[in-house]
Structure 1
């Protein structure tokens, strides 16, 4: 069974906008993180343009708004819109571990949090936002998207409250 760090890193790849790099990594991802095989198998037989269009339709379309958003601060309170300071709360753990986000996404972007967790072993951000992860998982399941299987695997790996920490 793969370590949770491998699962978190692989899930981060699955939840980013699909590109050629993801497609090239699918065989490795499938073997390294068997919990993600449903998604990996789907992605392997789906043309990249279709994968990208589905990603946008699920996570970035104006039609869906925030209903399936990958920004954890959005899920702090059901239906609440982040006030801009919510994402800032994510920055401190990154700093404590000597990490800085590179790129355009804010620190509460789920793939960034998953990569942070994989690199540091610190599951606190995921544990604190587990209720939101569960709501997102439920909504994705209801939508019938293969991304639901990724959230299934992540939610299954996130420790229960009180069992989190910074250990490997």
Structure 2
């Protein structure tokens, strides 16, 4: 892009450059790779039931096939531990790590919304967002459970799909710090997510019910 004339005021030049960045659309290959990475982060964060532990060889192969990146390296470091542990140890570690009452909770509204009423409204907003995209999560986990949010991001794309991740960025960073402090291998998954570059294009459309409750995007 050619330089903007110096006669244009600095705030206007900044806005023009920001608008140009938002109009940049990722290539189909880049979008597919990003979706795959988000999906590969979602799966091992789930409760390690038999289906997940039995699928570890396939997960490891998929991670090994990723293009080189900081996020991919963190994911590979986690998988080295995840594949070496016995299923019973994985269950014990997961249950002891992701206590919903602590700062390692995977329920993202725990960090952004304080009381139960505000969290209830935030969960409702997420449900509305998913339904507006034509998606219904499987399983019994609430809509703010990080693996669910990651799966939606992978399915719906970097704009609307990743909006909840952008909104809960501070919570994700807090989870990462907590996992690092306690030395949990799950810190690698949060590190991968936190080091993932912003998407080339972002959706600025407000979430369903925006303005009516604290979960509305700013």
For Structure 1 versus Structure 2, the TM-score category normalised by the shorter chain is 0.7 to 0.9
Q: Distance in 2 between matches of 1:5 and 1:152?
A: 17
Conserved? CA contact 1:97–1:120, under 8 Å: yes
The reply on whether 1:18 has 2:48 as its aligned counterpart is yes
What corresponds to 1:28 in structure 2?
Answer: 61
Indicate if the aligned counterparts of 1:73 and 1:87 stay in contact, CA closer than 8 A: yes
Paired position in structure 2 for 1:127: 166
Q: Which residue of 2 aligns with 1:117?
A: 153
State the TM-score, normalizing by the size of structure 1. Answer: 0.85
CA distance in 1, matches of 2:101, 2:81: 25
* CA shift in 2, pair 1:16/1:81, >3 Å: farther
Deviates more, 1:150-159 or 1:17-26: 17-26
The alpha carbon displacement at 1:92 in A equals 2.0
Runs (5+) with no aligned partner, structure 1:
none
Q: Give the RMSD, CA atoms, in angstroms.
A: 2.3
Return the alpha-carbon distance in structure 1 between the equivalents of residues 85 and 198 of structure 2: 32
User: What's the offset of the Cα at 1:158?
Assistant: 5.6
* Aligned-pair CA distance for 1:15: 0.6
Q: For the Cα contact (< 8 Å) 1:4–1:157, is it kept in 2?
A: no
1:72–1:110 CA contact under 8 A, matched in 2: yes
Alpha-carbon shift at residue 28 of structure 1 (Å): 2.5
> What count of residue pairs does the alignment treat as equivalent?
160
2:141 to 91, 96, 105: 105
List alignment gaps of at least 5 residues for structure 2. 1-29, 67-71, 205-218
Runs (4+) of structure 1 exceeding 6 A deviation are: none
Give the Cα–Cα distance (whole angstroms) in 2 for the partners of residues 82 and 128 of structure 1: 19
Within the candidate set 175, 178, 182, 1:136 is matched to 175
Greater C-alpha Rg: 2
What is the CA-CA distance between 1:21 and the residue it aligns to? 2.8
2-structure distance, mates of 1:28, 1:81? 42
1:51 and 2:81 matched: no
Normalising by structure 2, what TM-score? 0.66
Q: Which of 129, 132, 142 is the matching residue for 1:96?
A: 132
- Distance in 2 (alpha carbons) for counterparts of 1:133 and 1:55: 17
Residue in 2 that maps onto 1:165: 203
